[in-house]
């Protein structure tokens, strides 16, 4: 049984994959396995992975016959993983030498279900360290305590699957799998479920993942309909939180985050194709109508005027008992 399995999806990243693969080589150990999942690439990515499977210690090449998206590709890797611990990397990012061993040493020393790490955001030649938005480092705590408060960035707002390491018992409980077919925001239901249902976690610093921003093929740079999957992702978050034993406490946070993401997309609506922008508006209006309206009222009252005004304009009208429309 390997000590660590690392799931790495790739899709049309032949320009960046060599950096990811080289960084895996600089992290390799005889008890590590690297599950390289080609999500039906149409460029030269598959050839790079075939070569890596021959030359990179512990590498296994898995290939989709049709493109399924990041969530599905990660699940393919999880299905094949044999390690006691699990980690993720995306095929256009890379790791500092020895990062995986340092993170593994940290989670083994702490004995918790999962750890969260800082990361380095890379935009062109600019580098900036992004911290886990959670209190003291290397202190094991209940993940539920890291969800709130509603009005401040917390650990569920830091959803990056590759910024951490996870014990296999979470996989065995179904907590590490992603919602198949989600093309974007796939990590939002995932991080919420992890924090609601895992028993223990810690933030450990260790900024050894280099997250590449501005990649032309990344969905964050593409304005097509796949971006709208954030609606489906956050609908799932709300539905699961509504069934949680602490739903009254957690719903304001999930509604506020959902609203903030809707406002964020409208802040850069010009990047969407016109038909997609129209669909974004109609789907956002419908989403606001599905939210618990009393919670939404409180969230909008607490938000800044610009975002609250935008969301109120999008919000479908509601009628009072007298028949008047309330917005």
What mean pLDDT is predicted for residues 246-254? 98
Q: Which of 205, 199, 84 is nearest to 140 (CA)?
A: 199
Burial code of 217-251, b = ≥16 C-beta within 10 A, e = fewer? eebeebbeeebbbbbbbbbbbbebbeebeeeeebb
* Whole-number Å distance between alpha carbons of 325 and 317: 6
Task: Convert the pLDDT of each residue in 261-287 to its tens digit.
Answer: 999 999 988 888 899 999 999 999 999
Task: Convert the pLDDT of each residue in 175-213 to its tens digit.
Answer: 999 999 998 999 999 999 999 999 999 999 999 999 999
Q: Which two tokens stand for residue 69?
A: 């998206």
CB 161 within 8 A of CB 190: yes
- Sequence spans of domains, the chain: 4-220, 222-318
Residues 6+ apart with CB under 8 A from 74: 7, 9, 37, 88, 161, 178, 186
C-beta atoms surrounding 316 within 10 Å = 12
pLDDT band at 318 (very low <50, low <70, confident <90, very high): low
* Whole-number Å distance between alpha carbons of 14 and 16: 6
Q: What is the DSSP string of 290-308?
A: HS-HHHHHHHHHHS-HHHH
**DSSP-derived 3-state class of residue 49:** helix
Task: Convert the pLDDT of each residue in 127-155 to its tens digit.
Answer: 999 999 998 999 999 999 999 999 999 99
pTM of this structure = 0.93
Phi and psi at 314, nearest 5°, equal -80, -30
**DSSP-derived 3-state class of residue 179:** coil
CATH 3.40.50.2300 fits 4-220, yes or no: no
Strands 209-213 and 59-63: unpaired
Tokens 């992975």, residue located = 49
Whole-number mean pLDDT of the chain? 94
pLDDT at 325 over 90: no
Q: Which two tokens stand for residue 225?
A: 């309909």
245 — alpha (psi -120 to 50), left (phi > 0) or beta?
alpha
C-beta atoms surrounding 151 within 10 Å = 12
Residues 6+ apart with CB under 8 A from 222: none
Cα atoms in the Cβ-side hemisphere of radius 13 Å centred on 173: 14
Cα-based distances in Å from 76 to 23, 63, 172: 22, 9, 15
Task: Convert the pLDDT of each residue in 35-94 to its tens digit.
Answer: 999 999 999 999 999 999 999 999 999 999 999 999 999 999 999 999 999 999 999 999
Cα-based distances in Å from 156 to 31, 205, 221: 31, 16, 23
Question: Would you state the pLDDT for residue 327?
Answer: 47
């Amino acid at each position: 049984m390997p000590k660590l399995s690392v799931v790495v999806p790739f899709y049309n990243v032949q320009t960046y994959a060599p950096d990811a693969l080289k960084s895996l080589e600089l992290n390799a150990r005889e008890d590590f396995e690297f599950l390289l999942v080609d999500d039906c690439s149409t460029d030269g990515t598959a050839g790079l992975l075939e070569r890596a499977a021959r030359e990179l210690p512990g590498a296994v090449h898995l290939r989709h016959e049709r493109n399924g998206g990041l969530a599905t590709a990660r699940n393919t890797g999880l299905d094949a993983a044999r390690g006691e611990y699990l980690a993720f990397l995306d095929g256009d990012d890379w790791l500092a030498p020895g990062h995986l061993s340092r993170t593994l040493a940290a989670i083994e020393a702490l004995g918790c279900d999962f750890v969260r790490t800082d990361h380095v955001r890379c935009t062109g030649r600019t580098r900036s360290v992004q911290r886990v938005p959670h209190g003291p480092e290397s202190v094991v705590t209940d993940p539920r305590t890291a969800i709130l408060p509603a009005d401040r960035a917390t650990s569920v707002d830091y959803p990056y699957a590759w910024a951490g390491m996870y014990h296999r018992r979470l996989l065995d409980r179904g907590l590490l799998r992603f919602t198949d077919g989600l093309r974007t925001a796939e990590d939002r239901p995932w991080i919420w479920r992890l924090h609601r249902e895992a028993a223990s976690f810690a933030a450990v610093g260790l900024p050894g993942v280099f997250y590449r921003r501005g990649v032309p093929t990344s969905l964050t740079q593409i304005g097509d309909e796949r971006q709208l999957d954030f609606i489906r992702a956050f609908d799932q978050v709300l539905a699961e939180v509504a069934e949680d034993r602490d739903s009254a406490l957690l719903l304001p946070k999930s509604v506020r985050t959902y609203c903030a993401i809707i406002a964020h997309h409208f802040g850069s609506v010009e990047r969407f194709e016109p038909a997609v922008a129209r669909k974004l508006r109609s789907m956002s209006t419908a989403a606001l109508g599905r939210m618990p309206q009393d919670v939404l009222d409180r969230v909008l009252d607490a938000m800044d005027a610009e975002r609250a005004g935008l969301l109120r304009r999008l919000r479908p009208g509601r009628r009072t008992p007298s028949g008047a429309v309330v917005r």
